[in-house]
Chains A and B, each alone.
Chain A
Amino acid sequence: MLQFVIRRIIWTIPVLLLVTFFTFALVRAIPGGPFDFAGDKSLPPAVVKNLEAKYHLNDPMWMQFCSYLIGDAICRPEGSEEGVSSKGVLLGDLGPSFRYRGRTVNDIISTALPISMQLGFLAMLLGIGIGIPAGIIAALKHNTPLDYSATFIAILGVSISNVVLGPFLIWVFALKLGWFPVATWKAEPLFSNIAQQYIAAGEPVPMWVNLIPKPTFDFFHHAVLPVVTLGTGLSAVLARLTRGSLLQVIREDYIRTARAKGLRERAVIVRHALKNSLIPVVTILGPMFAGVLTGTFVVEQIFAIPGLGRHFVTSVGNRDYPVVLGTTLLYAVAIVIANMLVDITYAWLDPRVRLE
């Protein structure tokens, strides 16, 4: 098991290198540059020139890539003191943002990612908590009104975009009924005393401190609408998948064997069908988790949540190369970790899969 994890991590390195390389090349291949405009105005050419020099954008491409990877100190021996310098991705330094003056990509991620992860995690909880049981019930009540209505709702949930559902929920539950706030996210760190210490010392608060929110009324009150918006689609996808998978498993020969043994229908389903039917569901949970935890543009935009989702989108428009690279790498790492967890779960669910 440990061996499996280590081997997977080693295998990940070339993958992440390739991702870095291609993102690096592709984002620079987009016409236009990071300093073409500031707000509505375009910048004077002299200023642009200075900025480009500051961020070493005039250096040869290989040198830029090299210093992105392993730092300015090694790849840019002369003149590394001038302009902005970075220690390189390998040391965990994702460099400065071109557009958010004075902020590094690490700063941006460590403030925005915890919020996205909180939203994503709650939405996944909702998605799994509703989707999988609904799928199971629909399958067990196959071809009954209960199944039809569950399937209908699931199709609705899959096809209604968050762009529609979010504003609709806001209109009904925030504006008309006034039950929930219209927008924003209210999370205080659970370990606020630790956060205070960092702030008092004038140091940046590390990401993990921000990650776990204090479970206050305010937090959940603000979270309900965005979590429901995001979670509905997820639970619909999971419900459909679970239903289909369970219906297929129920037709397997070994289910007939279980019935022939005289087991109660509940034991047949719980002991003999469920585990098998969850195998395809687990496959989709990995990428789903990775995608949702790293931020979702639409929901964060609708509810004005300062998560990471918008950075994925705006950084490309802004040609903010380091932010594009940083968020893409983060997503790649999330996918890799998620898939590793999926494989471990597989091995637990299915003895035919061995982690070797």
Chain B
Amino acid sequence: MTTLLEVKGLKTYFFTEEGVVQAVNGISYKLDKGELLAIVGESGCGKSVGVMSLIRLIPQPPGKIVAGEVLFEGRDLLQMSDDEIRQVRGNRIAMIFQDPMTSLNPVLTIGFQIMEALQLHLGMDKEQARKRAIELLEMVGIPGAEKRLDDYPHQFSGGMRQRVMIAMGLSCNPQLLIADEPTTALDVTIQAQIVDLVKGLREKIGMAIIWITHDLGVVAGIADRVIVMYAGKIVEEAEVHDLYANPHHPYTLGLLKSIPRLDQGHDEKLIPIEGLPPDLVDLPPGCPFAPRCSYRVDRCTEEDPPTDYVTPLHRVACWRWEDVIADQSKNGGQRV
């Protein structure tokens, strides 16, 4: 596999009146061509800021990418000129967002909004762009595509709008599609349809995907790899089956216990993680999860845990991950 994207030590801070919000605090990861990477974590842990930083969509000020490299197809996106990064956006890297109700411009037809990128990046004329837009709408399963091109967003349901967003994202055949919680705002049946759609499109087109969610259940079926984020840091990364079977970080364990699982008996209770994520302005030293962690020892609140590679494909940032595993096999709680 060839590496498509490599993020090294990315830090994005917001300089606000309350202080410096350390939204993304030194994250590193790799993504191969055609791979689907899921990023999970609670609300506010920096998932969106982390991926928006990749194509420099952070509102600036107050935001600023203070450190790091984002190597995409061999070039550092953070060093590019404004013109160059614009040619990457919507073209090589496309992004779709959480709320399809507000992410489309209400006063422009969806045809216009899809064709815009085609004309900009692929140099198509109106005629060609229109044809391609119809193809795209058909591809994402919108019936009567030709007629619907001249409709406005309010004439579509939420699920249909997210399909439009996906069509727009895929319009220029991107190498990487970033989907920031694309199903969170939709109801459950529609969620499943969208997940299936993306799964199918990925097989057809072969782009890599970064799929953000705060629901581990959603990505279980489609992700290759999962990154778990907490308070602006990566606390665990593993291949999807490995992560579900052998969570090494207490936070990951907590996340898994808080979602319903079909393969578990009904007697298994859902346990929410207690407490709240920390304030990202005044991060205390040590592991940010420590205050909520049942494995906490003194060291946790004093020193940042290093990132340990349990296997080449499984890493965790926790002082006590060995105890976490030991406990699990002891309790027979090993999840397969």
Contacts and interface: CB of A to CB of B under 8 A. Distances in A.
Contacts of A252: 102
A260 B152 contact: no
A253 interface: yes
Interface in B90-145: 90-91, 94-95, 97, 99, 102-108, 116-117, 120-121
Considering residues A256, A258, A262, which has the most beta carbons from chain B within 10 angstroms of its beta carbon?
A: A262
B299 interface: no
A50 interface: no
Given A253-B97, A256-B97, A352-B154, A261 B117 contact: yes
Contacts of B86: 262-264
B117 A254 contact: no
A130 interface: no
Interface residues of B, number: 28
Nearest to A276: B107
Contacts of B106: 254, 276, 350-352
Interface in A208-264: 252-254, 256-264
Contacts, number: 68
A262 B94 CA distance: 9
B117 A351 contact: no
Nearest to A250: B59
A262 B89 contact: yes
B168 A253 contact: no
B16 interface: no
Given A262-B91, A263-B86, A257 B103 contact: yes
A262 B117 contact: yes
B91 A253 contact: no
Nearest to B105: A254
B270 interface: no
A143 B59 CA distance: 13
B107 to A, nearest CB: 5
Contacts of A275: 107
A256 B103 contact: yes
Interface in A270-285: 271-272, 275-276
A262 B121 contact: yes
B173 to A, nearest CB: 14
Contact of B89 (A253, A260, A276): A260
B186 interface: no
A349 interface: yes
B55 interface: yes
Contacts of B89: 259-262
A260 B105 CA distance: 13
Interface residues of A, number: 21
Contact of B105 (A258, A264, A349): A258
B87 interface: yes
B11 to A, nearest CB: 21
B88 A272 contact: no
Interface in B137-187: 152, 154, 165, 168
Interface in B34-74: 55, 57, 61
Interface string A338-356: 0000000000011110000
Contacts of B121: 262
B57 A259 contact: yes
A272 B90 contact: no
A43 B235 CA distance: 96
B95 A352 contact: no
Given A260-B55, A261-B117, A261-B168, A351 B154 contact: yes
B107 A262 contact: no
A335 B117 CA distance: 43
Contacts of A258: 105
B75 to A, nearest CB: 16
B99 A253 contact: yes
Contact of A262 (B61, B90, B108, B154): B90
Contacts of A271: 108, 116
Contact of A350 (B107, B120, B168): B107
Q: Which of A252, A256, A349 has the most CB of B within 10 A?
A: A256
A271 B108 CA distance: 9
B165 to A, nearest CB: 8
Nearest to A143: B61
Contacts of B91: 262
A351 B88 contact: no
A342 B106 CA distance: 19
Given A349-B107, A350-B107, A261 B99 contact: no
| Central interface residue in B120, B121, B165, by most chain A CB within 10 Å | B120
8 contacts: A253-B99, A253-B102, A254-B106, A260-B95, A262-B120, A262-B121, A350-B107, A352-B106
Interface of B: 55, 57, 61, 86-91, 94-95, 97, 99, 102-108, 116-117, 120-121, 152, 154, 165, 168
Given A252-B102, A272-B108, 13 more contacts: A253-B97, A254-B103, A254-B106, A260-B89, A260-B90, A261-B89, A262-B87, A262-B117, A264-B86, A276-B105, A350-B107, A352-B106, A352-B152
In the A-B complex, the 4 residue pairs with the closest CB atoms = A262-B89, A261-B90, A262-B90, A253-B102
